[in-house]
Amino acid sequence: MEQLIPIAIFLGVLFLLLGSGVWVGLALMGVAFVGMELFTSRPPGDAMMTTIWTSSSSWTLTALPLFIWMGEILFRTRLSEDMFKGLSPWMAPLPGGLVHTNIVACTVFAAVSGSSAATLTTVGKMSIPELRKREYPENMIIGTLAGAATLGLMIPPSLTLIVYGVTINESIAKLFMAGVVPGIVLAAMFMGYVAIVSKVSSKYSPTPEPDMSFMDKLKNSRFLIPVLLLILLVIGSMYTGLATATEAAAFGVVGSMVLAFGQGSLNWSTFVESLLGAVRTSAMIALILAGASFLSLSMGFTGLPRGLADFIAGLELSKFELLMALLVFYIILGMFLDGISSVVLTMAVVEPMIRQAGIDLIWFGIFIVVVIEMAQITPPIGFNLFVLQGMTHHQMNTIARAALPMFGIMVLMVFVLIAVPELATWLPEQVRNRPG
């Protein structure tokens, strides 16, 4: 097959650069530069400048740093503490007790953060000491946090969905809406697992919570009002068509500042820290996207993506077989790369296959996010595992074992999505068509 030589060269240069510790974005540019030199007559420098500028000046991309900044501001508030106070009275009577606060708090914070790591750190720093104090099983505390924190990648605003949308030129608002129902379903599956384990495990015997009257529960619920209003502002403005994803992100930044100011946690120092944190994360993602854009151009000149798509089409795989192949492929890739890198690195090749197979690109965005969520909790590079190791001081294998049931539930979620694709496609169809 004539495509094997360029594939071997691209992969060889990529692994050489990544293995030598070069940043992912620069490694992608290096691979693209070599490809342009070897397989085209176009000057690579000129092509690189044009492509990087075009990819970096995308209006849609402006939502990314704004949502990151919003998450950084909220990370420095007392939000997790307030969420625990508001949620715990309602979660305590459920089978499994307060472990459910991990899942529900991660789901709520995911709806204003967009980042898996920020969700995990914010919720974990409050819930871990409280749950340990009440003698909940350590593996359940760690496992539910590791799994539920990945909802930050699916429930809008999701940074991964923004990058996916920019890469394939799809509506960010529709992708955001597509993540809402699957995110809630996955959270419900996590909660169902906790309820079952609490009934069948002999080690599940936490200290019972004192009884609370209904009025006291309602009083505690006031702590949830600010974050629920922020979720309503961000997601509601997109759903009703009042704002594009970028405009909703700007609303979110202003709303999070008001929330932080109201809590007394917004001062000049936290403002500067949040801004610098957002700049660092945004610059890293922008560099990866720029490198991926140049690599897509370079690969396009070689005809590699189309050739691979035609090769896959020649195998005459059914949609299900193709999705299973991609599931295994992304799980393996996710063991070594973060989610955003996995998306931008592969879309140039995968997108033609998906289009040719007739798979809905909005639905496929949610499929990819679920699979990338798995990568967050699989060794050796599962980022959530590293964050949890720093917070709990456990060995990596202990944390990975605790997270394994959540990995299994995510695999099950993939099959639920395939069986009921409307979970991801119904809500986007209700969104009024606006660009952005």
Whether the pLDDT of residue 87 is over 90: the answer is no
CA distance 136 to 247: 42
Q: Does residue 130 belong to any structural domain of this protein?
A: yes
pLDDT of residue 309: 60
Amino acid at 286: A
Tell me the average pLDDT across 253-261.
88
Confidence class for position 80, pLDDT limits 50, 70, 90:
low
Whether the pLDDT of residue 98 is over 70: the answer is yes
Least confident among 237-251, 374-388, 413-427: 374-388
- Omega of the bond prior to 157 within 30 degrees of 0, cis? yes
Range of the domain at 211: 59-294+304-430
Per-residue pLDDT tens digits for 131-177: 888 888 888 999 999 889 888 788 888 888 888 988 888 888 889 88
Total structural domains within the chain: 1
**30-56 residues labelled b (16+ CB within 10 A) or e (exposed):** bbbbbbbeebeeeebeebbeebbeebe
Amino acid at 35: G
- Both tokens of 203, joined, read 């080690």
CA distance 286 to 159: 12
Q: Does residue 2 belong to any structural domain of this protein?
A: no
CA distance 285 to 293: 12
Whether the pLDDT of residue 436 is over 80: the answer is no
Q: Does residue 17 belong to any structural domain of this protein?
A: no
Nearest of 206, 112, 189, 199 to residue 148 by alpha carbon: 189
Per-residue pLDDT tens digits for 187-226: 999 999 999 998 888 778 777 777 778 788 888 888 888 8
Tell me the average pLDDT across 418-436.
77
Question: What would the 3-class secondary structure string for 228-258 be?
Answer: HHHHHHHHHHHHCCCCCHHHHHHHHHHHHHH
CA distance 352 to 396: 38
Fill in the DSSP letter of residue 220.
Answer: H
Tell me the average pLDDT across 7-26.
78
CB 39 within 8 A of CB 6: yes
**257-278 residues labelled b (16+ CB within 10 A) or e (exposed):** bbbbeeeeebeeebbeebeebb
3-state helix, strand, coil in the chain (%, to 5): 80, 0, 20
Polymer length in residues for the chain = 436
Q: What is the pTM of this model?
A: 0.77
CB 85 within 8 A of CB 111: no
Nearest of 197, 192, 118 to residue 150 by alpha carbon: 118
Tell me the average pLDDT across 66-80.
79
Q: Does residue 48 belong to any structural domain of this protein?
A: no
Q: Does residue 268 belong to any structural domain of this protein?
A: yes
- Both tokens of 182, joined, read 């699957």
Per-residue pLDDT tens digits for 285-317: 788 778 877 877 777 777 666 666 666 667 778
Confidence class for position 30, pLDDT limits 50, 70, 90:
confident
Long-range contacts of 32-38, Cβ-Cβ distance < 8 Å, separation of 24 or more: 32/291, 32/294, 32/295, 32/297, 32/298, 32/299, 33/294, 33/298, 34/9, 34/10, 35/6, 35/9, 35/10, 35/295, 35/298, 35/299, 35/301, 35/302, 36/298, 36/301, 38/6, 38/9
CA distance 73 to 55: 27
Q: Give 51's Cβ-side CA count (13 Å radius).
A: 25
The dihedral of CA 160, 163, 167, 169: what is its sign?
positive
pLDDT of residue 200: 87
**What torsion, rounded to 10 degrees, do the Cα atoms 394, 400, 404, 409 define?**
90
What percentage of the chain exceeds 90 in pLDDT?
A: 13
Whether the pLDDT of residue 435 is over 60: the answer is no
pLDDT of residue 74: 77
- Both tokens of 204, joined, read 């599940």
The number of angstroms, rounded, from the C-alpha of 428 to the middle of its chain's C-alpha atoms is 18
CA distance 106 to 186: 12
Confidence class for position 410, pLDDT limits 50, 70, 90:
very high
CA distance 239 to 273: 31
Tell me the average pLDDT across 314-325.
84
Q: Does residue 395 belong to any structural domain of this protein?
A: yes
CA distance 342 to 164: 10
pLDDT of residue 305: 61
Per-residue pLDDT tens digits for 337-371: 667 777 877 887 788 888 888 899 999 999 998 98
Element (H, E) at 99: helix 99-113
Confidence class for position 418, pLDDT limits 50, 70, 90:
very high
Q: Does residue 156 belong to any structural domain of this protein?
A: yes
**What torsion, rounded to 10 degrees, do the Cα atoms 365, 368, 374, 378 define?**
-140
Confidence class for position 412, pLDDT limits 50, 70, 90:
very high
pLDDT of residue 248: 85
CA distance 341 to 344: 5
Q: Does residue 40 belong to any structural domain of this protein?
A: no
Average of per-residue pLDDT values in the chain = 82
Confidence class for position 419, pLDDT limits 50, 70, 90:
very high
